Amino acid sequence: MAKNEEIVFGIHAINALINSAPERFIELWLLKGREDERLLPIINLARKYGISAQMVQRKVLDDKCKGEQHQGVVARVKPGKVLSENDLDDIISLAEKQNKSPFLLILDGVTDPHNLGACLRNADAAGVQAIIVPKDNAAKITGTVRKVAVGAAETVPLVQVTNLARTMKHIQKMGVWIVGTAGETDTCLYDVKLSGPIALVMGAEGKGMRRLTRENCDQLVKLPMAGSVSSLNVSVATGICLFEMVRQRAL
């Protein structure tokens, strides 16, 4: 596969991508003999947009996505635009124009594609306007991320920044309050005001936030843990924190 191409698989991921950017599709492969109600909308969209679709055996699909669960549909696509620091101001000002206060998610060093995909799905459900990640030492959008995100990779902008601490300072100047999660604080998530322009920072699996990231937060919070397990999976913790923010923002 050429460097400037990407393999995408999974029913939701491909459906969302055809609906949002049909011009990116180079070719589409579908499982031979499987034309059920879940695949038919994709077949119809491919016809509508003139995307070349081939019926192939399961082994061909397995090989193309290196054994990942493809649900009978795989595509080769052109890569999408990679968003950077420069796009962040536009995202924030667009939210303000729509009378929505900025609502952002910052992931510091989350490297597992399944966790990134699940965080995208959480962010989409909660109404987050963008996810900010460092350019290095972080998961990028891949076929696996798109599959786990069930379409949210097309709806939530992923902004890759060169210097996370500098970006945090920049959005603070724009009036965004930054709340980070850290096990060592005594402040519980449910005791803090979490409405208004806000960004949630979640640290890497196991290690948590880096020192500089932690120092640039306005507030540190933790989830109350009653059991013997000391922490939750990052995507689960992200969902809990985002929806407490959603609850408070709705009040």
- Which domain CATH number covers 65? 3.30.1330.30
User: What is the overall mean pLDDT for the chain?
Assistant: 92
Same domain, 106 and 142: yes
Annotated binding site, which residues? 203, 223, 232
- Single residue among 53, 77, 101 that ends a domain in this structure: 77
Q: What is the span of the domain harbouring residue 96?
A: 85-250
pLDDT recorded at residue 205: 75
Residue type, position 180, single letter:
G
Same domain, 13 and 73: yes
Is pTM, for the whole model, over 0.75?
yes
User: Is it the case that residue 224 has pLDDT exceeding 70?
Assistant: yes
Same domain, 57 and 107: no
Across the strands, what pairs with 161? 134
Q: Is residue 47 part of a domain?
A: yes
pLDDT recorded at residue 222: 93
Q: Is residue 1 part of a domain?
A: no
What 3-state class would DSSP assign to 186?
A: coil
Sheet holding 158-161, edge to edge: 158-161, 130-134, 103-108, 198-203, 177-181, 219-221
**At 1, is the pLDDT very low, low, confident or very high (cuts 50, 70, 90)?**
low
**At 232, is the pLDDT very low, low, confident or very high (cuts 50, 70, 90)?**
confident
Annotated binding site for S-adenosyl-L-methionine, which residues? 203, 223, 232
Q: Is 191 exposed, middle or buried (0-12, 13-18, 19+ CB in 10 A)?
A: exposed
Q: Report whether 232 contacts 118 (CB < 8 A).
A: no
More confident residue, 166 or 227: 166
Q: Report whether 92 contacts 121 (CB < 8 A).
A: no
**At 218, is the pLDDT very low, low, confident or very high (cuts 50, 70, 90)?**
very high
Same domain, 142 and 170: yes
Counting the structural domains of the chain, the total is 2
Same domain, 46 and 157: no
Same domain, 121 and 197: yes
Domain of 179, CATH number, reads 3.40.1280.10
More confident residue, 34 or 201: 201
User: Is it the case that residue 234 has pLDDT exceeding 80?
Assistant: yes
